Structure 1
Amino acid sequence: MSFQIAVDVGGTFTDLVVLERGGKVHTFKAPTTPGRIVDGILNGLELVADHFKIARAELLAACSKFACGTTAATNAILEGTYARTGLICTEGFRDTLLIREGGKRDTYTIAIDYPAPYIPRELTVGVRERINSEGGIELALDEQSVVVTIERLKHLGVESIAVALLWSIANPSHEKRIGELIETHWPDIPYSLSHRTSPTLREYRRSSATAIDASLKPLVRRVVNELESRLRGAGLGGVLTLVTSSGGQTAGDEVIECPINLCLSGPSAAPVSARNVIRAEGAATCNAIVVDMGGTSFDISIINDWEIPMHREGVIAGHVFGVPSVEVKTIGAGGGSIARVDAGGFIHVGPESARSVPGPACYDRGGILPTVTDANLARGFLDAANFAGGTMTLSPAKSEAAIRAEIAEPLELSVHEAASLIGLAVEQSMVAAIEDITIRRGVDPREYIMVAGGAAAGLHAVPIARELGIRKVLVPPVAGVLSAYGILVSDIKSSFSRSLPAATDAFDFDSVNATLASLEAEATAYLDRMKVPAGSREIRFSAEARYRGQVWQITLDFNHTHIADAATLAALEESFHQLHEKLYFVRGNDTIEFTEWTALAIGRLPAITVDHGVSEGGQGSDAAKGSRQVYMRELGGKAEIPVFDGSRLTPGTRIDGPAMIDQRLTTIVLYPSTTATLSANGSIWIDLI
């Protein structure tokens, strides 16, 4: 036996996808163990081993590749459990993290306080030095002040150090020297330098990214080392990789060196998974809105003409982490999101979550507050006896009691009406979040399909799509573990950036080409370290560019290893005009400024042929498994609707709504005026009539 295993550790469940030799895929869920994520992974591996009727050690010994996505970094930022970190900055700039960019992210919401700095001011120390924007040294580094600062941070009990000097991206010599002094005077302390972590314009964003990176180093080193040592100790003999914010895999050593790349590790793989499924469906085009609804969050991403947009605007808990990452919008609207009624009689759902412990009330683990999962159970949308692949039994009585006490009685509604209201409220939050990254950016969601992933997305996909005018919903065969499947099929990836100003009216070809050559060398060295064969390598280049006078840049991809002459530059300029017009419907005539250059190293992994087993089972008519009483506003209240066993459907089987399709790790609710059809690849296509 031979396996590949991919794991996505979420806030509520740990999802596992196992690929057998021959292409057969198996999916599993195990409760996440907060604070002990490796325990949750090992518990999940026990489920896998039991399924194959072998010992866990035998399973791991037969595993050629183990890929993991973890929310450890994201959760540490959200919960404030990162290391006590000191910041060394240029003298006179101690308030960079406090002032930020001049205001709150939501200026008009009075109830939101101005956020505290990521590193408090008392742990921020300035040193005497000054480099100008051209890289010239205005004031030489006072090395004695650096030594004094290091001793002061020792006294303050910091566990890591961030170094972010003004204009280090133009000349990093002072930051490099501070790194050498730290290694000399405090060799055991981890530290991060801003010109390496985030070599980009904007003092706050670079400082924030460096502070986050430094604060995560002790935690991520501990988590990665524990993960590797315990998996090796349990019998793993194959390759271990982790998934980064770019949606690609990399080695544990690379993550330890730059742990900020672990932010949004799991969600970044969802659009990779969706694109893989759409390609398997034989689609000629791929424009999709990908939603992944798990137990804690609702993640949204976009695929435009097969491309997954990347950005540097990543924000967690109000702090910019700013490294190149898959654009994912996350809101607290998962199955475990808690519903409540405020003093004015308005219902709210999330962002607070019951997580896996104590969990929703229906888990019967001590949770007493109603959640979205409780509402779906009370509405009859879930099979209480076969939840999470049959690993859990839910308590309808506990759900109804929680909803009655917290929602129904305060609003003078029946339990079923209150449960339906919880569902409506969370769906409106989801619609608003999707509109944020589509309609408000000039993207018409009616021109896209929706890919519904996560254990809970199938319950809410139809009403969300209908509200947005989307006519087709795709539920993949791996919907319940969408991100974990994306981890399985993702490539090796890492990006390398360098700040270098250049403008089309005075372009320094030599400096730019030297920078591109240096980035290409870094990318090649990375692919060498990852042992990627020569025929499986790709290096993509991009630049951050803008019209002169603009504040913000856009990312411009290009396929040149160097910019040889004026004709090549003119082609690059025309590409920028076209991209700007596509994004903003405006084509300018101004000089174009380039501020940063990036090389993305990609190691293509061998294509995986997947067998989802759709040819197994009986005829389509054998899939009917009875009926279930549900509460659905569209049917006027309580109604009996047919239920189908998704594992027994055959390709071409058509089901008209209202109906439900039960799958091992998810349930799909078909509302009136919808039709579902199973494809030959095992995906369910829902048409909204």
Structure 2
Amino acid sequence: MARDSIRLGVDIGGTFTDVVLEVGTARHSTKVLTTYSAPEEAILEGMHRVCAKAGVAASSIGQIIHGTTLATNALIERRGAKTALITTKGFRDVIEMRTESRFEQYDLNLTLPEPLLARNRRYVVTERMDARGEVLMPLERAEVEALADTLGAAGYESIAVGLLHSYVNDAHERLIAQVLAARLPGVMVSLSSQVSPQMREYERFNTTIANAYIKPLMKSYLGRLKGRLAAEGADCPVFLMHSGGGIIDIETAAEFPVRLVESGPAGGAVFAADIAARHGLDKVLSFDMGGTTAKICLIKNQTPKTARVFEVARTYRFKKGSGMPISIPVIDMVEIGAGGGSLAHVDVLGQIRVGPESAGSEPGPACYGRGGERPAVTDADLVLGKLDPDNFAGGSIPLYPDASRTALRVHLGDRLEMDAVEAAWGLAEVVDENMANAARVHAVENGEDLSDYTMIAFGGAAPLHAARLCEKLGIARCLVPQGAGVGSAIGFLRAPFSFEANRSVFMKIGAFDPAKVTALFKEMEAEACSFVQSCDATAEILSEHKVYMRYSGQGWEIPVSLTPEQAANPDAETFLRLFEADYVKLFGRSVEGMEAEITVWSVNAFTLTDAVARLAPAVPSGSAPSSGTRTLFDPALGHVTEATVVERGQLTTGQTVDGPAVVTEEETTIIIPTSRSMIAQADGCLDIRTKEAAHG
């Protein structure tokens, strides 16, 4: 078999490292506990496992695509390099002042996240650009040289450079980079005009600092990984998934590691979009629940919703506004501290609270028998009958139900006068309601009604909770794809090579300049295409164009998509018409008598992926064979039921299962509650619907 038809996808999560090997059309996968001290060890172990399953040598792998939480975790845990910021005199405290908004209006003891860099690590230079990019105060080289000597003496490993209005004119940032390269050749440098060339200095400075902060760590890890893979025989190109849903080469990833933040969840959204295309679904709620977090994303017309800014390290239970903003292209999703390892406790009001703290893989939930004593979501799932203690992760990880019962009773039950089963029910309902509420809010913020949506559930824990989530959200249909337990890693193998270029060029519609717009789009398209060509020099490259617009005086913009024809022949009336149509969709009406303006321009270059064949719906062909029964607690009924157990590997197209039922496989377990029925589709997806929809 040709080497380029053998590809490996690897996703490092907070609890498990998922590894998927595709050999032609055949797929082999495994889950390995994440090794925090040396993440590459879990990758190598997983690679050897799947290669053994497939009967191929590691040297046969033609391409490796990798996504990781390492960048995110380094920011959350503050484990980055010794970093300095160089900024314009008078703007030293921008990252501490933030936007001066209050995300909890009535909290008198509001706790804001500490900036990544303390004040004594923030330095200034005397210079000034105006918003049009004209020099108001020139930068003197001698001042930069003196500052470089000071930074060198302090022993900084990485330096972020963020000057006022450098997104319009980067001349002063480039001068600083030249001096630093000459005076401090071993120190890494990140320029805001390259990392995030957009208006709003707080978001731009913070993004550049985050890039500089994790750059030495990620550069070292990626170099180490490439070397270890080559030593094990896998001496092939290694690519990285970025947060916008595409793939970049390892060199670009090492230079701009901030773009790797949220790379794993982005792979999951790409996986869900691929499933949506195969089933002809235009409205999909992607639900990805792993060991540490759950991610929810809206996918319309087989395309995940995207954004320009997202937050990491939120200090208030994942509350919007309480984290560090990162201004890069990203798939827009809401993240909740609700995974299989999320820990539960009783608060001062006597309420069960779940997450955001997670047991991870070390020590893991109490049932892992690795020293964990507090109850996690997985402990509740085990006690409620959702998991088989002898067949978790294909039998590779034994579970200890007695340890789960003890943890639930000691930490929840004794305080609330509940037995272990009732405490597990309470824990499960709280975590499911947290996720359902997050999905409702996300839908409302985007003007969507979830009752029209189909859920696609993946990740190791999602199929355990998806049907209950559908009951709470009023969603009639849920698909659990084949390989759901390693969905993000599969998504990496479905993603295109892509890179998005952004520019902040302010332009009012009344002063629209078609020639300037054409030149701007051409420059951005060349930049984005050059990054994609570095990954695949022979592929056909397409591009998407967007502008971000608002009414004058508004504080934020909305994205407006352009067709290739509209981008090639820019016209003020067309831009305004498109903006007003999108504005009405979001807010119900346009604003009369107020001028519109453009603040940010975007070009995303990408390669074409293989066309997806549309599947015909399966025709029911009879009940699936049962391998026994299991006691299962149904939270909607509030009591234990006897559930049919079905092995997923024994299912054939069209076979049906009525709930209550449990479908087992190596990487996850699918729960079908009493209210639902399931039919196996031709691609292996389990199609779970309300009994009325399934039989009516």
Q: In which range does the TM-score fall when normalised by the shorter chain? A: over 0.9
Q: CA contact under 8 A between 1:541 and 1:561: conserved in structure 2?
A: no
Cα distance in 1 for residues equivalent to 2:543 and 2:635? 53
The separation in 2 between residues aligned to 1:203 and 1:255, in whole angstroms, is 23
Deviations 1:430-478 (A, max 9, x none): 0121122112432111111111111111111112111111111111112
Q: Give me the identity figure in percent.
A: 34
CA drift of 1:564 comes to 6.4
The equivalent of 1:316 in structure 2 is 312
Alignment of 1:661-672 (within 5 A): 661-672=663-674
Question: One-letter code of the match for 1:69?
Answer: G
**Match of residue 557 from structure 1:** 561
2:631 to 629, 634, 638: 629
Choose from 677, 680, 685 the match for 2:679. Answer: 677
1:439-588 matches, within 5 Å, as 439-534=444-539, 536-560=540-564, 568-588=571-591
Secondary structure at the residue paired with 1:505?
A: helix
Structure 1 residues 683 and 136: CA distance shift in structure 2, 3 A: same
Counterpart residue number, 1:333: 338
The amino acid of 1:604's aligned partner reads L
Query: Matched residues in 2 for 1:391 and 1:602: separation?
Result: 39
Q: Distance in 2 between matches of 1:517 and 1:622?
A: 57
Deviations 1:495-544 (CA, angstroms, capped at 9, x unpaired): 1122222222112223222211111221232233222425x210112122
Partners in 2 of 1:561 and 1:121 — Cα distance? 49
Q: Is the contact made by 2:634 and 2:674 (CA closer than 8 Å) also made in structure 1? A: no
2:95 counterpart of 1:97: yes
SS at 2:132 equivalent: coil
The 1:175–1:654 alpha-carbon spacing in structure 2 relative to 1, beyond 3 Å, is same
Contact 1:347 1:422 in 2 (8 A): yes
User: Matched residues in 2 for 1:487 and 1:510: separation?
Assistant: 38
Whichever residue aligns with residue 601 of structure 1, its letter is: A
- How well do the aligned residues superpose, as a CA RMSD in angstroms? 2.1
Counterpart check, 1:353 vs 2:351: no
Q: Name the CA distance, whole Å, in 2 between partners of 1:608 and 1:634.
A: 37
Whether the aligned pair in 2 keeps the contact of 1:509 and 1:564 (CA below 8 Å) is: no
What CA distance in whole angstroms lies between the structure 1 residues aligned with 2:162 and 2:35?
A: 36
Q: 1:497–1:129: structure 2 CA closer, same or farther, 3 Å change rule?
A: same
Cα distance in 2 for residues equivalent to 1:110 and 1:409: 33
Note closer, same or farther for the CA distance 1:636–1:220 as it changes in structure 2 (3 Å cut): closer
State the alpha-carbon separation in 2 of the partners of residues 367 and 279 from structure 1: 41
After TM superposition, the score normalised by the length of structure 1 is: 0.94
**1:357 and 1:620, CA in 2 relative to 1: closer, same or farther beyond 3 A?**
farther
Q: CA deviation at 1:357?
A: 0.6
Residues 535-571 of structure 1: CA deviation (Å, up to 9, x unaligned): x2101121222122222111222134786667x3322
Matched residue, 1:369 = 374
Q: Deviations over 1:1-36 (max 9, x none)?
A: 552111111000011122112x12222111111131
Task: Give me the whole-angstrom Cα distance separating, in 2, the residues matched to 1:268 and 1:296.
Answer: 16
Give the letter for the 2:168 counterpart: A
- Following superposition, the deviation at residue 641 of structure 1 comes to 1.7
For 2:45, the aligned partner's letter is: N
SS of 1:623's equivalent in the other structure is coil
Matches within 5 A, 1:395-474: 395-474=400-479
Q: 1:112 to 1:646 in 2, by over 3 A?
A: farther
Structure 1 Cα separation of the partners of residues 589 and 66 of structure 2? 42
Identify unmatched segments of 5+ residues in structure 1.
none
1:50-81 CA-to-partner distances (Å, cap 9, x unmatched) read 32355xxx2x2111111111111011011110
Distance 1:607 1:63, change over 3 A: farther
Give the Cα separation in 2 of the matches to 1:94 and 1:319: 17
**Cα distance 1:636–1:166, how it changes in 2: closer, same or farther (>3 A)?**
closer
| Partner Cα distance (2:602, 2:572) in 1 | 17
Q: Residues of 2 paired with 1:437 and 1:634: CA distance?
A: 24
Q: Give the structure 2 partner of residue 52 of structure 1.
A: 54
Alignment match of 1:653 (pick from 641, 651, 655): 655
Written as runs of structure 1 = structure 2, the 5 A alignment for 1:24-173 is 24-53=26-55, 58=57, 60-110=58-108, 112-173=110-171
Q: Which moved more, 1:585-594 or 1:426-435?
A: 585-594
**SS of the residue 2:511 aligns to:** coil
**Residue type matched to 1:286 in 2?**
D
Which residue of the partner structure matches residue 266 of structure 1? 264
Q: Secondary structure at the match of 1:114?
A: coil
Q: Deviations over 1:563-606 (max 9, x none)?
A: 6667x332222111111111222223433211222211102244
CA contact (8 A) 1:150 1:185 kept: yes
**Residues of 2 paired with 1:662 and 1:379: CA distance?**
15
Contact 1:82 1:216 in 2 (8 A): yes
By how many angstroms is 1:186 displaced?
A: 0.7
Call closer, same or farther: CA 1:288–1:108 in 2, change over 3 Å.
farther
Matched-pair contact (CA < 8 Å) for 1:620–1:648:
no
| 1:607 CA drift (Å) | 5.0
Aligned-partner Cα distance in 2 for 1:562–1:485: 35
Q: Distance in 1 between matches of 2:225 and 2:102?
A: 38
In structure 1, the residue matched to 2:318 is: none
AA paired with 2:69? Answer: T
Q: Distance between the aligned counterparts of 2:565 and 2:151, measured in 1?
A: 43
- In structure 2, the CA distance between the partners of 1:425 and 1:109, relative to structure 1 (3 Å rule), is farther
Partner Cα distance (2:22, 2:207) in 1: 36
User: Normalising by structure 2, what TM-score?
Assistant: 0.93
Contact (CA 8 Å) 1:314, 1:322: kept in 2 or not? yes
Cα-to-partner distance string for 1:290-335 (whole Å, 9 max, x where unaligned): 0101011101111012221110221001111110111121111000
Asked if the contact 2:81–2:157 (Cα under 8 Å) also holds between the matched residues in 1, the reply is yes
Gaps of 5+ in 2: 314-322
Aligned twin of 1:394 = 399
| Conserved? CA contact 2:623–2:656, under 8 Å | no
Pair 141,4 (structure 1): closer, same or farther in 2 beyond 3 Å: same
The answer to whether the 8 A contact 1:104-1:114 is kept is no
Residue 382 of structure 1 is matched in structure 2 by 387
Cα gap change, 1:634 to 1:202, in 2 (>3 Å): closer
Shift of the 636–92 alpha-carbon distance from structure 1 to 2, 3 Å rule, reads closer
User: Taking structure 1 as reference, are residues 7 and 86 closer, same or farther at Cα in structure 2, changes over 3 Å only?
Assistant: same
The alpha-carbon distance between structure 1 residues 416 and 143, as it changes in their structure 2 partners (threshold 3 A), is: same
Count of residues in Structure 1 that have an aligned counterpart in Structure 2: 675
Q: In structure 2, how many angstroms separate the alpha carbons of the residues matched to 1:640 and 1:550? A: 57
